[in-house]
Amino acid sequence: QIDGIISMSASLAQKILKEVAAEYPLVMAFQSFADKRIPSVSVDNLAAGRAMTTHLIRLGRRSIAHITGAAPLNVYKERIEGYLGALSEHGLHAEPDWIRRGDATLQGGYDQMEALLALDKRPDAVFCAGDTMAMGAIKALKKHGLRVPEDVAVVGFDDIEQAAFWDPALTTIRQPKQQIGETAFRKLYALIRKERLASARDILPYELVIRESCGYAL
């Protein structure tokens, strides 16, 4: 048997997580959880979504779409809230069809970008809630002869290893993976020892990593 669990799966149903947490010490890593009784370690996804969208706006983009995962997860909800909040702050809005939900995969990003390109009004930028979806979106744009970022800027979230080597290199949000893992372990160890946690939810700093795909690289 095990003494405790660190879960990094965003796809597990909340009901299952609650059942597991009732039997074992459990800490969620890389995501927040609506039930405050389950400790978590993550970045501020809402603030990060707002920062990424604001960056696109500062680059002159005004028609910004959002591709997100289909699963009803807090991380996706918070990133959408940040996206919509930044648009509202700058007097912009998103067309209803510009928020696309699909699989959080290369194919999912590809398919949702195809759906955006089929609309009468094409966005000039796309903020994807994950790097793999952003890479799929770039593939779809290239298939249609569109240039990234000249015709459509594309940005992602997570800064996976492939992001820096994609063509073009992907602008994204970097999460402090090692720090999240270390913090999650310390929280879990405290739970196993039946110690009281200083806080149920730890929010760690994110980094906006600017590369070629947004139209401006440092």
* Residues 145-174: b if buried by 16+ CB within 10 A, e if exposed: eeebbeebbbbbbbbbeebeebebbbbbbb
Q: Which of 34-38, 129-133, 173-177, 214-218 has the lowest average pLDDT?
A: 214-218
pLDDT of residue 35: 66
CB 104 within 8 A of CB 67: no
The pTM of the whole model exceeds 0.75: yes
Quick one: CA dihedral 116, 218, 89, 61, positive or negative? negative
| Angstrom distance (rounded) from CA 92 to CA 195 | 48
pLDDT digits (tens, 9 = 90+) for 152-195: 999 999 999 999 999 999 999 999 999 999 999 999 999 999 99
130 falls in which pLDDT band (50, 70, 90)? very high
Instruction: Identify the burial level of 120 via C-beta atoms within 10 angstroms of its C-beta, where 0-12 means exposed, 13-18 middle and 19 or more buried.
Output: exposed
pLDDT digits (tens, 9 = 90+) for 113-122: 999 999 999 9
pLDDT of residue 22: 84
Q: Reply yes or no on whether the pLDDT at 218 is more than 50.
A: no
* Residues 61-75: b if buried by 16+ CB within 10 A, e if exposed: bebbbbbbbeeebbb
